[in-house]
Amino acid sequence: MLVSTTRRPQDMTSLRRLNSILDEAFGTWPFQSQESGALTSSWIPACDVFEDKDSVKIVAELPGVQPEDVKISLENNLLTVRGEKRQKAEENNERVHRYERTYGSFERAFALPTTVDPEKIAANYANGVLTVTIPKAERARPREIPVKVG
């Protein structure tokens, strides 16, 4: 049994007001730049950042992204991971009922501490997960200082 629902005009006004408030609060974060309001990323991959005594690791989920479509750069201690998740064209003539997966370009930037060694950064990509390992400089690693007696 189908049930028909209708919205009263005052319901739509409240919904529009809520939508306007949310647009104002979140309109420039995190998808748009503050200056121009232009889109800077089609999607934003989830990232985890870990630190231990030897290194900083950035782990990014990039499902469906080909390794050759990922670029990593370092400039002024700002590590940038950018790339593109490409949509594959469907070969068959079936009707598409829904597209829910996200495609397009992405970019994430991370300010690195001055305690890392930028010359030894390594990146590994496996099973849709990018791991960037940034070793700490020798001078930044914790070390024990012996106490001399006497």
Q: What's the pLDDT at 35?
A: 42
Please answer whether residues 81 and 107 qualify as being in contact, where contact means their C-beta atoms are separated by less than 8 angstroms: yes
Residues sharing a CB contact under 8 Å with residue 66, sequence separation 6 or more, in sequence order: 86
Q: Which tokens in the block code for residue 122?
A: 């390594």
Q: What's the pLDDT at 12?
A: 61
Residue with more model confidence, 88 or 80: 80
- Give the model's confidence band at 138: pLDDT under 50 very low, under 70 low, under 90 confident, else very high: confident
Tell me how crowded residue 105 is: count the other CB atoms within 10 A of its CB.
Answer: 15
Residues sharing a CB contact under 8 Å with residue 126, sequence separation 6 or more, in sequence order: none
Q: What's the pLDDT at 111?
A: 92
The domain 41-88+103-141: what is its CATH number?
Answer: 2.60.40.790
CA dist 47 and 70 (Å) reads: 14
- Give the model's confidence band at 58: pLDDT under 50 very low, under 70 low, under 90 confident, else very high: very high
Residue with more model confidence, 59 or 28: 59
Rounded to the nearest 10 degrees, how much is the dihedral formed by the CA atoms of 16, 17, 23, 25?
A: -160
CA dist 71 and 32 (Å) reads: 21
In this model, does residue 76 exceed pLDDT 80? yes
pLDDT, averaged across the chain: 79
Q: Report, as an integer, the average pLDDT of 33-56.
A: 73
In this model, does residue 56 exceed pLDDT 80? yes
